[in-house]
């Protein structure tokens, strides 16, 4: 059997991330950092205000009982989080308990040494709450902007992801690659408060990238725009089988899922509330909108999109948990010029009606030792 080559994946990592017995599915929110006009009236806040909104969302999410919050980077028009690590540093200062991370750090066009330095620093500012999700970029304009050749898309990512993990697990690194200068007994500082720093691989719907995540023995974040829950099961299975093949225990490798989330009193109200923002947002950032008829399928109980009344969303998330057996769910609730107050209302409703129910029904029973400890604590 091949020797495992990824970052450490013992149960201590699961514990550090809070994936402990009895807690239930973790619940988080993420932002891509978009800076879009409100489709209702065409208004758009300034860049500074939009950046401050990300910090406000994190504070509200922490107050509402969310476990995790993240902000991504994109380097094009209609985005405000190009320096996402700076924003995460501000969030680290403004919060105290919620775990924080990147929605995805575009590793293909970044230097792994600098990325590690940035996130290790955020980890210290947050007192050990930082995580990093490494992605490849779904919007590719940044390759030209930052001086990279799009033809090297796959090779850039794989080489840099490997180097990032080497830096994470080795105090001193000697390394040679194709796309950056060699490292010779290099010590990358500061070392993170967490050892190792949690580094996730961002994966789309296809199994190929999931297999690579499994072979590397790293946690996986599986993102999705739409489709049925069952259609993503092969990706999860491929990830776990690849990890097992390389000698890792899949039970020690966390999985997170991520996608659109919106709650309202009824599913039809949820559709009407979210669709204009999704359609306009995708039109401006990806060049084509979301077909209305296709989006209407999101209310189906088997849809991977968590949209509907609070009870419907709870049932969808529970169904997804049964299918995937994952540890964390991340909802995108601020896309497409959605007003700040509307997002804050979503956070409040999710915190009061959705998160407690999801945790109640996904929490595992405590062991006898845990029961004894709980009883002793209440005496």
Q: pLDDT of 209-250, one tens digit each?
A: 999 999 999 999 999 999 999 999 999 999 999 999 999 999
Confidence band, pLDDT 50/70/90 cuts, at residue 23: confident
Query: Residue 152 falls within a domain, yes or no?
Result: yes
Domain count within the chain:
1
pLDDT digits (tens, 9 = 90+) for 94-153: 999 999 999 999 999 999 999 999 999 999 999 999 999 999 876 777 888 888 898 998
Q: Tally Cβ neighbours within 10 Å of residue 5.
A: 14
The range of the structural domain enclosing residue 179 comes to 11-378
**Over pLDDT 70: what percentage of the chain?**
92
Task: Provide φ and ψ at 195, rounded to 5°.
Answer: -130, 105
Confidence band, pLDDT 50/70/90 cuts, at residue 5: very low
pLDDT of 285 over the 90 cut: no
Confidence band, pLDDT 50/70/90 cuts, at residue 15: confident
* Positive or negative torsion for Cα 77, 83, 84, 86: negative
Query: Residue 5 falls within a domain, yes or no?
Result: no
Query: Residue 170 falls within a domain, yes or no?
Result: yes
- The answer to whether the CB of 203 falls within 8 A of the CB of 223 is yes
- Distance in angstroms (rounded) separating the CA atoms of residues 125 and 130: 9
Query: Residue 3 falls within a domain, yes or no?
Result: no
Where residue 312 sits, what CATH number does that domain have?
3.20.20.30
Query: Residue 36 falls within a domain, yes or no?
Result: yes
- Distance in angstroms (rounded) separating the CA atoms of residues 256 and 270: 24
Query: Residue 291 falls within a domain, yes or no?
Result: yes
Please give the pLDDT value at position 376.
Answer: 39
Please give the pLDDT value at position 263.
Answer: 98
pLDDT of 379 over the 50 cut: no
Please give the pLDDT value at position 373.
Answer: 37
Query: Residue 53 falls within a domain, yes or no?
Result: yes
Please give the pLDDT value at position 199.
Answer: 98
Roughly how many angstroms between the first and final C-alpha of the chain, as a whole number? 51
Task: Provide φ and ψ at 27, rounded to 5°.
Answer: -125, 125
pLDDT of 256 over the 70 cut: yes
Q: 183-216: buried (b, 16+ CB within 10 Å) or exposed (e) per residue?
A: beeeebeebbbbebbbbbbbbbbebebbbbbbbb
pLDDT of 283 over the 80 cut: yes
Backbone conformation region of residue 217, classed left if phi is above 0, alpha if psi is from -120 to 50, else beta: left
pTM for the full model?
Answer: 0.92
**Extended strands (E) in the chain:** 26-31, 68-71, 99-102, 105-106, 130-135, 173-175, 183-186, 199-203, 220-223, 255-263, 306-308, 328-332
Query: Residue 366 falls within a domain, yes or no?
Result: yes
């Amino acid at each position: 059997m091949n020797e495992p080559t990824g970052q450490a994946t013992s149960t201590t990592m699961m514990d550090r991330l809070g994936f402990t017995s009895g807690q239930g599915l973790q619940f988080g929110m993420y932002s891509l950092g978009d800076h879009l006009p409100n489709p209702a009236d065409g208004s758009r806040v300034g860049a500074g205000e939009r950046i401050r909104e990300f910090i406000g969302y994190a504070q509200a999410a922490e107050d509402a009982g969310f476990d995790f919050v993240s902000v991504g980077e994109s380097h094009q028009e209609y985005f405000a989080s190009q320096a996402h690590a700076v924003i995460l540093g501000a969030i680290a200062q403004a919060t105290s308990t919620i775990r924080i991370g990147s929605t995805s750090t575009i590793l293909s066009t970044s230097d792994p040494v600098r990325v590690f330095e940035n996130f290790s620093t955020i980890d210290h500012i947050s007192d050990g709450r930082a995580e990093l999700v490494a992605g490849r970029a779904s919007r590719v304009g940044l390759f030209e902007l930052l001086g990279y050749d799009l033809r090297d898309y796959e090779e850039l990512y794989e080489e840099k992801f490997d180097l990032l993990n080497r830096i994470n697990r080795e105090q001193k690194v000697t390394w040679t690659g194709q796309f950056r200068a060699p490292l010779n007994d290099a010590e990358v500082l500061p070392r993170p408060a967490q050892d190792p720093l949690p580094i996730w691989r961002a994966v789309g719907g296809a199994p190929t990238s999931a297999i690579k995540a499994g072979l590397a023995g790293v946690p996986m974040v599986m993102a999705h725009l739409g489709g049925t829950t069952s259609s993503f099961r092969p990706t999860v299975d491929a990830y776990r089988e690849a990890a097992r093949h390389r000698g890792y225990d899949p039970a020690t490798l966390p999985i997170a899922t991520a996608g659109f989330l919106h709650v309202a009193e009824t599913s039809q109200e949820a559709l009407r509330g979210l669709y204009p923002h999704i359609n306009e947002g995708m039109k401006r950032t990806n060049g084509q909108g979301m077909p209305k008829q296709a989006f209407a399928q999101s209310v189906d109980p088997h849809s991977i999109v968590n949209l509907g009344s609070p009870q419907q969303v709870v049932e969808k998330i529970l169904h997804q948990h049964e299918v995937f057996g994952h540890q964390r769910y991340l909802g995108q609730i601020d896309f497409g010029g959605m007003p700040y107050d509307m997002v804050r209302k979503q956070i409040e409703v999710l915190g009061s009606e959705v998160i407690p129910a999801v945790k109640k029904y996904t929490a595992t029973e405590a062991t006898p030792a845990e029961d004894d400890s709980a009883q002793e604590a209440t005496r």
